[in-house]
Structure 1
Amino acid sequence: MQIKTKKSLNGFEVNNQLKAIETKYSNIFQSINVGIIVVSDSAGNIIEWNKGAELAFGYSSSEIIGKPLTVLISKKQVDTGVKEILKVKDKLDNDTYGDNIEMLGLRKNGDEFPVEFSMSNWQHGEEEFYCAFMLDITNRKKLEEKLKKTTKDLELFLYRSAHDLKAPLTSAEGLLHLLKEEKLNKRGSFLVTMLDETLEKGRLLLDNLAFASVISEKRRDITVVDFQKILGSIMIALKGVNNFQSVAFHIAIEQENDFNFNWELIDSILQNLILNAICFVKPKTKTHVPTIKIRIEVSNQGANMMVTDNGLGISKNHLDKVFNLYFRGHSEVSQGTGLGLYIVKRIVDDFNGEIKVTSTINEGTTFKVHLPNLK
């Protein structure tokens, strides 16, 4: 019986198979017309160019191969763009994940358009190669600008509405003041007190609405923040709040470095967090002392603020809603406007900070805020 064995491939056959594989993947690479893919050598010269790149930039492969990557960058951003690319290249060379980059691309006809891209690298022999995966984000940028304008218009409307509503509220407060000077019976005095509290809540609500509408503008006014002074003024401002006198406050501030931020925004964050803690304290008893701990740590990188109470707490079902507009976790608590934590979150988000909340029912709540040092 004759046994047939599989013959090993000779050099010619191996070469043909390699060429077939190369042709296959080259066809796949060139056929991708949605994403923009550009490959360069270690000197930054373009060596591969797919259909998506041709459609986006307007150059054919024969026109662009061998040209430096800088021809694809807007002349306005060449210097900064090259620096960003080199940063990513260094990270890749050190086996670190490279960040996504946004910059203005430059088409063959001179038009500029926004692109976002990430890079990868590989080595073949002693040569290093880099591949940029790009996306044309023109539509996304247009949408972002539209959203910014809409937000700006809404903020302006909110500010003007709050400002205009203050006029009749101020008039009502003046009339109430005159009414207090009159001789009233017990029921009349009771109604005046209720009206006074109602107008105070309305004024606080309008103040918060007006403040929420100008948060983004506050980034223009950056100063060195003194947390000791801010907390001192907050304690004075909150003395008239219900339950304040029953609370034991523990304040710890570690600030050896200057912290640069907007003074009003820091004041708003701390005041709203402390007021929220006061609003949800449990009554003082022989075995329970309402306690609020305020801890602030400042470094060159930023400030960490923590406000902890031993009050009513927040249920797990509500933790992801506490920063929503007008949300109240305990309907029986009448203090506050439902805007405080929303404002805190707006400030933190606008400045790329971080806020976390943890809570246990009947044990208390902790808010942690981190904000960058805007030096």
Structure 2
Amino acid sequence: MKENRIRILYIDDEIHNLNAFKASFRRSYEIYTATSAQEGKLLLKEISVQIIIADQKMPVSTGVEFFNEIKDTLPDPMRILLTGYTDVEDIIDAINKGHIYSYIKKPWDEHELHKTINNAYEIYRTRKQLREKIEELEKTNDELNRFIYSTSHDLRSPLMSVLGIINLSRLDNSVTDPNGYVNMVETCVLKLDDFIQKIIEYYRNSRLEVEYEKIDFNTLLNDCITAFKPQNTQIRFQTQVEQAVDFRGDTFRISVILNNLISNAVKYQKPEETNPMVNLAVKVEPHKATICIRDNGIGILSEHLNNIFKMFFRSKNNNKPGSGIGLYIVKEALSKIGGTINVESKYGEGTQFEITIPNRNEFDT
């Protein structure tokens, strides 16, 4: 059927070439012709073609100039250049500038041109199918992410209800629990809630646009410490902030980064440590902020350092509860704002993370 045939636009200022092309290929393809680049552009506004063939030597606009002009607005059609060039450098330059699939020397060989057209169409069709598959996968991924995010929010409500009931039972001493089952339930609920919050963080980091605003690191660090200090009241937090210049950054993502790293520093302390410590240092410069988070916890085995930022990776050298996605979220959040992270750790002695985040203060107008 005609609508299933390959559609070709052939541009050439020599009428006899257009007629010869039609005579040779009209039975195989759906052919449109134009005598100039300008006429070809007008045709392309009305019809959709898979292959564009253009003669290089035309009076007003060459074939390469024509292809170069349409490559951004019409990136999909495959381009074939007809040329009398014999200079290899000229041919290579023409192909690079016009994003040309192939060139055919004039006068063309009918068999060679037919083979080139069909090969070009196969590439066109493959690219189209790949693009459709990508769009389909992106849609499926988007739906899955939305489902997970919605479900995570819905799950938090009953979990908070369970925690509320546990707290009420403790306040009025209405439950006798000599075996500590209530505490076990509370621990499991808190662990599940932590995992759900990580999922929500991951979703928000992947979806929310980056927004820059002024950040006071003294306030930000104090908020983080206030949130995590109750988890281990024995830990001594030390902070040192050098912020002589303004800093602009994405508050949400920097908070996510700090919260995850400080949470780990608190969680992975040594049980026998008599002086548990978490040191937080920030130095703000005109073009960047450097944040150092150091603890004297259990540390990380050297063979695990290359894997700790992978999703769901958990070190087997400790029995601490964890989701395995906290550091992955840290890495993803830093990627969104153009930051970097380095880690040094010695097993049994502690860990240090150093983060560098660009200061977007120069964009504050």
Q: Which residue of 2 aligns with 1:126?
A: none
Residue 162 of structure 1 aligns with which residue?
Answer: 152
Whole-Å separation in 2 of the counterparts to 1:135 and 1:313: 55
Cα deviation, 1:10-60, whole Å, max 9, x if unaligned, reads: xxxxxxxxxxxxxxxxxxxxxxxxxxxxxxxxxxxxxxxxxxxxx987433
Q: Which residue of 1 aligns with 2:253?
A: 265
* Aligned equivalent of 1:61: 56
Match of residue 301, structure 2, among 286, 293, 315: 315
**Matches of 1:56 and 1:290, distance apart in 2:** 69
Q: TM-score, normalised by structure 1?
A: 0.61
**Maintained 8 Å contact 1:252/1:295:** yes
Q: Secondary structure at the match of 1:187?
A: coil
Percent identity, please: 27
Look up the match of 1:359: 345
What residue number does 2:175 align with? 184
Equivalent position to 1:236, from 226, 231, 245: 226
**Which residue does the alignment assign to 1:112?**
75
Which blocks of at least 5 consecutive residues in structure 1 are unaligned?
1-54, 76-104, 116-128
Distance in 2 of aligned mates of 1:275 and 1:248: 14
1:247 matched residue in structure 2: 235
* SS across alignment from 1:341: helix
Distance 1:151 1:302, change over 3 A: farther
Q: Counterparts in 2 of 1:19-30, with a 5 A limit?
A: none
Q: Secondary structure at the match of 1:203?
A: helix
The residue correspondences of 1:80-159 to structure 2 (distance < 5 A) are 105-106=71-72, 111-113=74-76, 132=96, 139=127, 148-159=138-149
Residue 213 of structure 2, aligned match among 212, 215, 223: 223
Match of 2:174, as an amino acid? K
Q: Which residue does 1:344 correspond to in 2?
A: 330
Contact 1:74–1:112 at 8 Å: present in 2 too? no
CA contact (8 A) 2:247 2:359 kept: yes
Q: How far, CA to CA, are the matches of 2:339 and 2:65 in structure 1?
A: 34
Secondary structure of the structure 1 residue equivalent to 2:229: coil
- Relative to structure 1, the CA distance from residue 183 to residue 171 in structure 2 (aligned partners, 3 Å threshold; closer, same or farther) is closer
Show CA shifts across 1:57-98 (max 9, x none): 7433324998598755568xxxxxxxxxxxxxxxxxxxxxxx
TM-score, length-scaled by structure 2: 0.62
Amino acid at match of 1:211: E
Report the Cα offset of residue 276 of structure 1: 0.9
Aligned to 1:45: none
CA distance in 1, matches of 2:63, 2:241: 53
The answer to whether residue 171 in structure 2 is matched with residue 208 in structure 1 is no
Tell me: CA distance 1:58–1:214, structure 2 relative to 1, closer, same or farther (3 Å). farther
Question: Deviation at 1:317?
Answer: 2.0
Judge conservation of contact 1:280–1:333 (CA < 8 Å) in 2.
no
SS of the aligned residue for 1:320 comes to coil
Give 1:231 shift: 0.4
Structure 1: which amino acid aligns with 2:245? Answer: N
Unaligned runs of 5+ in 2: 1-49, 79-91, 102-122
Offset of 1:237 from its aligned partner? 0.6
Does the Cα contact within 8 Å between 1:280 and 1:312 map onto a contact in 2? Answer: yes
Deviations 1:278-297 (A, max 9, x none): 22223455xx6333222222
In structure 2, what residue type is equivalent to 1:276?
Answer: N
In 2, distance between residues paired with 1:71 and 1:161?
Answer: 52
Q: Over residues 189-216 of structure 1, what are the superposed CA-to-partner deviations in whole Å (9 max), with x where a residue is unaligned? A: x222222222222222212211211113
Contact 2:156/2:193 (<8 A) preserved:
yes
After superposition, the Cα gap between the structure-2 partners of 1:270 and 1:73, relative to the gap in structure 1 and judged at 3 Å, is farther
Query: Does residue 371 of structure 1 match 2:354?
Result: no
Q: In structure 2, the residue corresponding to 1:317 is in which secondary structure?
A: helix
Q: CA–CA distance in 2 between the matches of 1:341 and 1:114?
A: 44
Structure 1 residue matching 2:252: 3-state secondary structure: helix
Where does residue 165 of structure 2 map in the other structure? 175
